[in-house]
Structure 1
Amino acid sequence: MTRLFSSGNSGETVLFGGPEPNRRSLSGPSKADMPKEQPTISAVSGPGFSAGDSAPIRLHTVRIWFPHNGVQVMEDIKRKGLEDVVFDAIALQEIGAQHQAQDDHGITHEAFLVDLAVLEVGISRVLGKYEITKFDPLSDDDPIILHQPVEDLDSKKALCYQHLHSKYLQEYAKRCKLGKVLGYEIHNVLKDWYKERLEDICNRFKKLGYC
């Protein structure tokens, strides 16, 4: 089933349900996109981890409200001492809604949603430093979905999934490009996180009857 509707910007139309010229399908990074695996991030250390740990390390997605305070997300992560448990951050202000939030000094700012790649042992620390969301990400109550400029809920979800999938692919490509310039490659743990996120978004899209 093909559905055609405007995304709200003049001249921009989004097509679902069939192939489009010059547009990637909703799938994870291709083998060409994924560089040869040569981990360069040092072994994870910190509470709950030791050199002898054999359990596989996995990153979890934590969505937070991040205030517009003039500081980049990862810089703020470092200031809060969370760089040992947060591997990456995907800012979603271009996709979804915003709301009012206070910074560390009690000053109110517009806030936007950010997806963080977090080690399990650091989730509670992250949630203690940032305002947590009061909804399940990508649920019917997710403001990113509700913010989409179409009428019915399924169309909102489809448009959100497409934007979110494109955002993750763009950010992954940036990390790969930066790594090539600086002479390193993305750690396997972070690669797996991107792969899982892209697969989850794609599966949600398919459940709506697209692809």
Structure 2
Amino acid sequence: MQKKKTRSLKPMRKLWAWCCIRTPNGFNSGKDFKDNNIVFNRFFEMKMKYDESDNAFIRVSRTLTDKVSDLMGGLFSKTEMSEVLTEILKVDPNFDKDKFLKLCEKDIIPNILEAMIRGDLDVLKDWCYEATYSQLAHPIQQAKSMGLQFNSKILDIDNIDLAMGKMMEQGPVLIITFQAQLVMVITNQKDEVVEGDQDKVLRMLYVWALCRDQDELNPYAAWRLLDISSSATEQIL
């Protein structure tokens, strides 16, 4: 039997806005991200076009390079990335790009993303900077105050890439891109679906800014989410 759906819950609109739709202001947790919003927007738009295009030329170009930075025409210099990596190596001499991406795949992304779509505020708070946590937590808190339950799940995480580095006031920041397949479902106390669809898979493209806490010597506990942007397409199961 198909469960009843309603579409009149404003908190759910807000919830879906940060889970599934690109944030209108791009990065906003730090002044530098605000100042460079146009640059970030261009990066995000080019990344989306690169990933979604069916153009033959673009398909051929994928065989030549998978580096997003190659498409950016030098917007983010190698010097800036080197500066970020040098800063990280000061406290983590064993830092390695491949190991970092593996850490993202196995630990950082699943923990944060699961907390986001399942409404686990305690876990989310551990992994986010205060401003980011506040932005993500607000719609979750609203939903929970209405007695709603999060029944979403992650199906797959792939195509993780290190896109660029940026020195911020908070510390060295690495910006990663990845794709995830999610089923987003929120139910009320009667187990009725009030948002989402258990028969639809959302294909998400995420851009995350991860900042390293330079006071934390343990590399597995040093990374936190500074900001996030995303875009979604959906497919029927």
Do the structures match in fold with TM over 0.5? no
Structure having the higher helix fraction is 2
Q: Given the two structures, how large is their TM-score scaled by the length of structure 2?
A: 0.24
